[in-house]
């Protein structure tokens, strides 16, 4: 037993000596940032002079920096003194260009055409504040502006303010046929943003909005008003878990986003309702150039028998090629899966192709869970697409997707946009 005790004591001594012999951080330097303020980088990272050098903390800081809109890639370097008792740490940053125009264009074989264009600055004042606006044409004209400052008060606490005046032509599905309504939603929203760490964050706040429905044409129903204008408000809560590892255009890991809203009205004759949905996303690398991407959305709302149900079937939201808002429901199950393959990868440019299948089903307003299995509500759209990616511009991914339905009464169509579909 004595030799065992002897060597155990030596190991304990060496372990203890190793801990207390850790290098102390003398200085933290930031290199490569031109527009992003050095003070901001130090504000959102955890390492500070005087701390003991901790590789886990360094890796966490780098992972945090990679998630910033202004950063395309980040790394760290450690420089020791001769005795390795002190160290300088450098955080190296490769910046994105962050003043980005964007455009989404939607078409289908029903000759529908709509687009949204806008401009966003994701690093306003070098503080990673997002400032943007958009104009949308979807038969009618719409616009919106938004400000998002997630680190306004500290590395954990910020605010977001959004205003929009959105007008569209919406189909309303009645028992004796369909009708078209002019729908306007004017809203102002204030959200508090809180980040526990770079993987976990929440948003909560309130939205005041006015909904205005005006009948245009089609079927009518004596129980459905042809004109409706009402003031409403909603409380919103979002929880986001982001466990994704980012390496330029390649993603791997799991992400989950829960969105819950409670809506009430100034008109006491209109019922209150709640809506909640969760997006589960999973990404994995396939070989050197492949990426398999998946998104599952599960959503439920109060099951009111109303033609204005909240979950829409739409080109730009969930099913590529299906058309612009072709159906509505009070529940949704949607799965998007695609394989992305890098065809060309240069210093700043990437050409990526993809094969996808979008599928989903909806619960009818006032229906039951059996509606999800009804082939009238099931839609499956396989397709192909291509991506043009600039590696030095934030979210500079121009995508073109073509989806072709294989279920009953299917359509086909092309969807253009900025950014990956999901």
What is the 3 state secondary structure string of 357-386? EEEEEEECCCCCHHHHHCCCCCEEEEEEEE
Sign of the CA dihedral with 396 first, then 401, 407, and 408 last: positive
For residue 291, the model assigns a pLDDT of 98
- Summary mean pLDDT of the chain: 90
For residues 231 and 248, state if they share a domain: yes
On whether both 58 and 81 belong to a single domain, the answer is yes
* Confidence category of residue 107, pLDDT binned at 50, 70, 90: low
Q: In what order do the strands lie in the sheet with 24-31?
A: 24-31, 86-95, 71-80
Domain residues for the domain of 54 are 2-94
| Average pLDDT score over residue span 292-308 | 92
Q: Kindly state whether residues 123 and 30 are assigned to the same domain.
A: no
Shared-domain flag, residues 10 and 113: no
User: Per DSSP, what are the bridge partners of residue 279?
Assistant: 257, 297
Q: What is the pTM of this model?
A: 0.80
Among residues 78, 94, 110, the one where a domain terminates is: 94
Q: Is there a single domain that holds both residue 213 and residue 261? A: yes
Which of 128-142, 273-287, 307-321, 357-371 is least confident?
Answer: 307-321
Q: Which of 63, 94, 125 finishes a domain?
A: 94
Q: Is the per-residue pLDDT at 10 higher than 90?
A: no
Same domain, yes or no: 115 and 80: no
Three-state SS sequence of 345-356: ECCCEEEEEEEE
Identify whether residues 235 and 342 lie together within a single domain: yes
The sign of the dihedral angle between the CA atoms of 98, 99, 103, 104 is positive
Q: Which residues contact 159 (CB under 8 A, 6 or more apart)?
A: 149, 152, 153, 190, 191, 192, 193
pLDDT at 1 (0 to 100): 45
Residues 78 and 216 in one domain: no
What is the domain count for the chain? 2
pLDDT, position 83: 85
CATH number assigned to the domain comprising residue 103: 2.40.160.50
Instruction: Give the pLDDT of residue 19.
Output: 42
CATH code (residue 23): 3.10.20.310
118 and 13, same structural domain? no
Q: Are residues 86 and 108 in the same domain?
A: no
Do 214 and 339 lie in a common domain? Answer: yes
Domain boundary among 33, 64, 94: 94
Q: What is the pLDDT of residues 167-226, one digit of tens each?
A: 988 878 787 888 999 999 999 999 999 999 989 999 999 999 999 999 999 999 888 889
Same domain, 61 and 207: no
To the nearest whole percent, how much of the chain has pLDDT over 90? 72
């Amino acid at each position: 037993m004595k030799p065992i005790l002897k060597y155990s004591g030596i190991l304990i001594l060496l372990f203890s000596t190793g801990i207390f012999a850790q290098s102390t951080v003398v200085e933290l330097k930031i290199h490569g940032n031109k527009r992003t303020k050095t003070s901001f980088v130090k504000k959102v990272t955890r390492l500070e002079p005087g701390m003991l050098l901790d590789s886990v903390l360094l890796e966490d800081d780098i992972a945090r920096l990679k998630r910033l809109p202004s950063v395309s890639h980040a790394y760290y370097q450690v420089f020791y003194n001769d005795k390795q008792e002190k160290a300088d740490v450098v955080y190296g940053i490769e910046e994105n260009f962050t003043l980005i125009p964007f455009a989404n264009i939607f078409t289908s074989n029903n000759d529908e055409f709509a687009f949204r264009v806008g401009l966003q600055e994701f690093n306003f004042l070098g503080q990673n504040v997002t400032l943007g606006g958009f104009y949308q044409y979807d038969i009618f004209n719409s616009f919106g502006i938004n400000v998002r400052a997630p680190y306004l008060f500290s590395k954990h606490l910020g605010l977001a303010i959004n205003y929009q005046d959105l007008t569209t032509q919406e189909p309303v599905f009645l028992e004796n046929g369909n009708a078209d309504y002019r729908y306007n939603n004017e809203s102002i929203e204030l959200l508090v943003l809180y980040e526990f760490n770079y993987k976990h964050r929440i948003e909560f706040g309130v939205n005041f909005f006015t909904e205005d429905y005006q009948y245009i044409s089609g079927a009518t129903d004596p129980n459905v008003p042809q004109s409706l204008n009402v003031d409403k408000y909603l409380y919103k809560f979002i929880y986001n878990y982001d466990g994704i590892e980012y390496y330029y255009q390649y993603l791997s890991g799991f992400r989950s986003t829960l969105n819950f809203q409670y809506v009430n009205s100034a008109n006491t004759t209109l019922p209150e309702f709640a809506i909640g949905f969760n997006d589960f996303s999973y990404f994995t690398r396939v070989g050197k150039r492949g990426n398999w991407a998946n998104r599952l959305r599960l959503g439920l709302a109060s099951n009111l028998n109303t033609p204005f149900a909240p979950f829409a079937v739409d080109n730009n939201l969930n099913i590529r090629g299906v058309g612009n808002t072709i159906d509505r429901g009070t529940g949704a199950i949607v799965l998007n899966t695609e394989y992305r393959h890098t065809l060309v990868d240069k210093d700043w440019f990437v050409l990526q192709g993809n094969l996808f299948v979008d599928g989903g089903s909806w619960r009818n307003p006032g229906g039951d869970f059996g509606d999800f299995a009804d082939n009238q509500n099931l839609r499956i759209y396989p397709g192909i697409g291509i991506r043009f990616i600039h590696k030095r511009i934030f979210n500079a991914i121009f995508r073109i997707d073509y989806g072709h339905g294989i279920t009953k009464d299917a359509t086909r169509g092309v969807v253009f946009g900025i950014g990956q579909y999901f």
